[in-house]
């Protein structure tokens, strides 16, 4: 149980393109989903917290107009990187949690974004 699916797994596109990444909880309803960014050989950095039906909460230093998050249902959240540039190249990972605090976050397998 607790399967989180992330799509696509890899994206390579030109600078200026907008890219959408989907995160789905397949076997549970996620009250909250999180979006992380991970650079090579580094830890996970939280970008934003997403709750179904409400606006996402962004961490300090994360541009909300650059990284658009939509959480349309209890099983789907999307991250759109708008007008992507080479510095946006990274590994983006989502997680989903069922219930309130002290519950485990279950992660997707990430999306490798490469901007040329």
Nearer to other proteins, 110 or 115 (CB): 110
Report the half-sphere exposure of 70 (CA within 13 A, side-chain side).
7
Decide if residue 53 touches other proteins (CB under 8 A).
no
Binding other proteins (rule: CB under 8 A), the pick from 11, 19, 24, 32 is: 32
Minimum distance from residue 83 beta carbon to other proteins (Å): 26
Per the structure block, which two tokens stand in for 84?
A: 């992507």
Per the structure block, which two tokens stand in for 95?
A: 């997680």
* Strand 76-81 with 57-58, pairing: unpaired
Minimum distance from residue 80 beta carbon to other proteins (Å): 19
Nearest Cα to 108, choosing from 99, 96, 90, 98? 96
Residues of the shown chain interacting with other proteins in the complex, contacts defined by CB under 8 A: 4, 6, 32, 34, 42-44, 46, 49, 93, 95, 97, 100-110, 112
């Amino acid at each position: 149980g607790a399967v989180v699916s992330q799509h696509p797994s890899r994206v390579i596109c030109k600078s200026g393109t907008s890219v959408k990444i989907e995160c789905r909880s397949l076997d549970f309803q996620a009250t909250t989903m999180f979006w992380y960014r991970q650079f090579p050989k580094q830890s996970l950095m939280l970008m934003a917290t997403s709750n179904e039906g409400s606006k996402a909460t962004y961490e300090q230093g994360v541009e909300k107009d650059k990284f658009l998050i939509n959480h349309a249902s209890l099983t789907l959240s999307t991250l759109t990187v708008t007008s992507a540039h080479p510095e946006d190249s990274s590994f983006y990972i989502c997680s989903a949690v069922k219930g309130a605090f002290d519950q485990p976050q279950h992660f997707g397998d990430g999306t490798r974004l490469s901007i040329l």
